[in-house]
Amino acid sequence: MKLAFLLSCSADRFYQYAPLRFQLEAFFLSIVPSRDWREVRQVLFATTNPTAVLGLLLGGVLLLLYGIRVVTDGMQRAAGGRSRRAAMALARRPLAAFGVGVLATALTQSSSATSSLLVGLVSAQLVELPAAVIMVLGTNVGSTLVVQLLAFHITDYAVVLAGVGATAAMATRRTVLRDGGQALFGFGLVLLGLAALQAGSTPIAASSITAEVLRTLTGAPLVLALIGVVLAITFASSAAAIGVVLVLVANGALPLVAALPLMLGANVGSTVTALLTALGRGSVAGRRLALLHTGTKLAGAVVALAVLGPLAALLSNVRLEPALQVALAHLGFNLALAAIFLPLAAPLTRLVTALLPDRESKEITGPRYLDPEALALPAVALGQATREVLRMADLATEMLRQSIHAFEEQGMTIPTRMDALDDQLDALEAAIKRYLTQLDEDKMTEEQARREIALLYTITDLEAIGDIIDKQFMRLARRKRRNRIAFSDEGWSDLVTYHAEVTAALEQALAALAAQDATLAAEFLTRKRYLSQMKRQFHLRHLRRLHSGVLPSLASSEIHLDLLNAMSRVLSHASNIAHAVHGDL
C-alpha cells in the first residue's frame, strides 16, 4: 500500500482508484495498492490549475529548504563536536583528513557548516591550511551523497521517514537519538518538498512554451550555468538546487545536456556566499580557504563546460534514468576535483597565501576572533569566544604583573598604562558577552551550554580583576606618591612576596582555563588555602611592626593593608575562574 496525494482531479477518476476515499474539495487522500501506483501518479500529476501549480512549487521549495536546515541542525548537534575533534586529530594525514571532510558533510548535509568549522580551526591554528584544503575537497564529495539518495525513487516513503524521525525526536530529550530523529524528520520534509516540486513541475514540463525556452537555452550552456549559480545562492544549498534539477529532469522538463550546466553552476554557486562573506569581513584564514574552495570549483566547472557535448554523450550511454545520470555526474565532478587538487594542496596553499598575505602586524585592542558567521555553529563560536577570553586573561595577567611597579619610584607611568589596559578588558568583556548571548540554546548540547555559562562567569571575573587593579591598586599608588609615603623594608618585602604568589596563582587558574584541566583547577584551590594563610601571617607581621613603633609602618599602614586586601580580592576572582573550570557552577 502507498500513500498518494491526489491534487485537482475529478471525483469520477478518484473513485475508480481508491478503495478508501476522502474528498476535501480539490484535494484527495487515497490509499491504493502498489500495483496501481503508476496509474495513480498519472492522476496525481494531471493538475493544470495555475494556483495549485504555484502552490506546489512554492510549498515544495519551502519544505525543501526548511528540511535541509532541520537536517543540518540535528546532525550538527549530534556529530558537530566529534567532527571538530576528528578534524584536529587527523589533520596531519591527508587521506584521513579527506575522509573527515566527506563524513562530516555527509552527516550534517551542509558543506558551508563544515567549511565554517574548518575556518575556525585554521584561525585558531589548530589545523594547518593545507590540511583544511584537503578537508574542503572532502566536503565537496560528502555534499553529493544526499543527492544520490534523492535521485532514487524514495519520495514515496517521505511521510514514513518524517513520522519515524518525529517519533524518535519526541521520545527523548537532548540525546543523540533525539538529534538523529530530528535529522530524519528533516530528511522526510526534504522528500515531501521534492514530491511537491515534482507534482508542480509536471504541467510545466508538458507546456510547449517550456519546450521552446529549453530548446533556446540548450544552446547556451553558460547561461544555464549562471542560472545554476543563482539557484544555489538563492537556496543557500547546492543539494536543494540540484534536487530541483533532478525533479525537472525526471519529469522530462530538462534534457540531460541542459541539466549538466545547471548542476555545474549549482556547485560553484554553493561557495559564492561564503566567499563574499569571507572577503567582506572574514579572517585572513577564512578568506584563503573560501578563495580556494570557490577557485577549485570554478576551474573544474569551466573545464567540464568545455567538454559538455562529449560528457553528455558519455552519460547518455549509461543505462540509467536521466535523474540518476545527473546525480552520477555530480558525484563524478566532485571526485574528479578531489583527485586533481588533493596532491596540489601544498602548492595551492602557497599560491593563495601569496595572493592574500597576512595583514601588517599592529595592535588590535578590540575583539579579533568573534566571527558572526560562526554563531550558527556553537562548537566553533564557543572556540572563538574562548580565544577572546584567553586574550582577556593575558591582559589581566599583564596588569597584575606590572601593578606592583606602580609603588616604586620609577613607576610614574604605570597608572596610565593600567587605565588603557582596563579599557581593553572592558571592551572585550562587553563584546564577548554580546557574542555569547546570541547563541541559539536550541542548537547547543548540554556540554556546550555549560561552557557558555562558564565563559560568561569567567569574563565577569577577569573584568573585575582589571577594575581592582586600575581603581584600587593605582589609587593607592597615587596616594603613596602624592603623600611621599615609604614602606618599611620588611613590609615592602612582604607585599612583593604576596604579590608574586597571587600572580603565580592567577596564572595557574588561567592555565587551567586554557587547557580546560579540572585537575589543575583543583590544585589551584588547594593553593588558595595556603595563600589565605600567608595573607593572615603578613597581616599579623604588619601589626607587630606597628606595635613595635616602626615609623614607616605607622605612616604606610592604611595603604599597606588596603593593598594586601586588594590582592586578596584578585585571588578570590581567580578562585571563581578555577571553580568554573572545575565544574562547580
pLDDT values of the chain reduced to their tens digit, one per residue, 585 residues: 333 433 334 333 433 433 333 333 333 333 344 444 444 444 444 455 777 777 777 787 787 777 767 766 665 565 555 555 554 455 456 677 787 778 766 665 556 666 666 665 665 556 677 888 888 888 888 878 777 776 666 666 777 878 888 887 777 665 667 777 777 787 778 778 777 766 776 676 566 676 677 667 778 889 999 988 888 887 766 777 787 788 778 777 788 888 899 999 988 988 887 777 667 656 677 788 888 888 999 999 999 999 988 998 888 888 888 888 988 999 999 999 999 998 888 898 889 888 888 765 445 567 877 877 678 778 778 888 888 999 999 999 999 999 999 998 888 899 999 999 999 999 999 999 999 999 888 778 788 888 899 999 999 999 999 999 999 999 999 999 999 999 999 999 999 999 999 999 999 999 988 888 888 889 998 999 999 999 999 999 999 998 988 888 888 999 999 999 999 999 999 999 999 988 876
Please list, in sequence order, all residues whose beta carbon lies within 8 angstroms of the beta carbon of residue 376, skipping any fewer than 6 positions away.
113, 116, 443
pLDDT at site 125? 59
pLDDT at site 109? 57
Q: Checking phi first, is residue 20 left (phi over 0); if not, alpha (psi -120 to 50) or beta?
A: beta
DSSP 359: P
Please list, in sequence order, all residues whose beta carbon lies within 8 angstroms of the beta carbon of residue 319, skipping any fewer than 6 positions away.
none
Retrieve residue 145's grid coordinates: 551523497
DSSP 294: H
Residue 409: closest CA among 497, 499, 338, 481: 481
Which pairs with CB-CB distance under 8 Å and at least 24 residues apart come from 556-560?
A: 556/480, 556/485, 556/486, 556/487, 556/488, 556/491, 559/476, 559/479, 559/480, 559/485, 560/487, 560/491, 560/495
| C-alpha span between 61 and 70 (Å, rounded) | 14
Residue 164: closest CA among 191, 185, 183: 185
Q: Is there a contact between 53 and 206 (Cβ–Cβ < 8 Å)?
A: no
Instruction: Quickly name the fold that domain 372-582 has.
Output: Methane Monooxygenase Hydroxylase; Chain G, domain 1 (1.20.58)
The residue length of the chain stands at 585
Please list, in sequence order, all residues whose beta carbon lies within 8 angstroms of the beta carbon of residue 307, skipping any fewer than 6 positions away.
none
| C-alpha span between 235 and 238 (Å, rounded) | 8
Q: Is there a contact between 86 and 104 (Cβ–Cβ < 8 Å)?
A: yes
| C-alpha span between 515 and 31 (Å, rounded) | 59
pLDDT at site 461? 95
pLDDT at site 150? 66
Residue 2 in 3-state DSSP? Answer: strand
Residue 80 in 3-state DSSP? Answer: helix
pLDDT at site 11? 36
Q: CA 558 → CA 408, 452, 498, 539, 563, distances in Å? A: 17, 40, 17, 12, 9
Q: CA 184 → CA 76, 79, 189, distances in Å? A: 13, 14, 9
pLDDT at site 567? 95
Domain boundaries along the sequence of the chain: 1-46, 47-355, 372-582
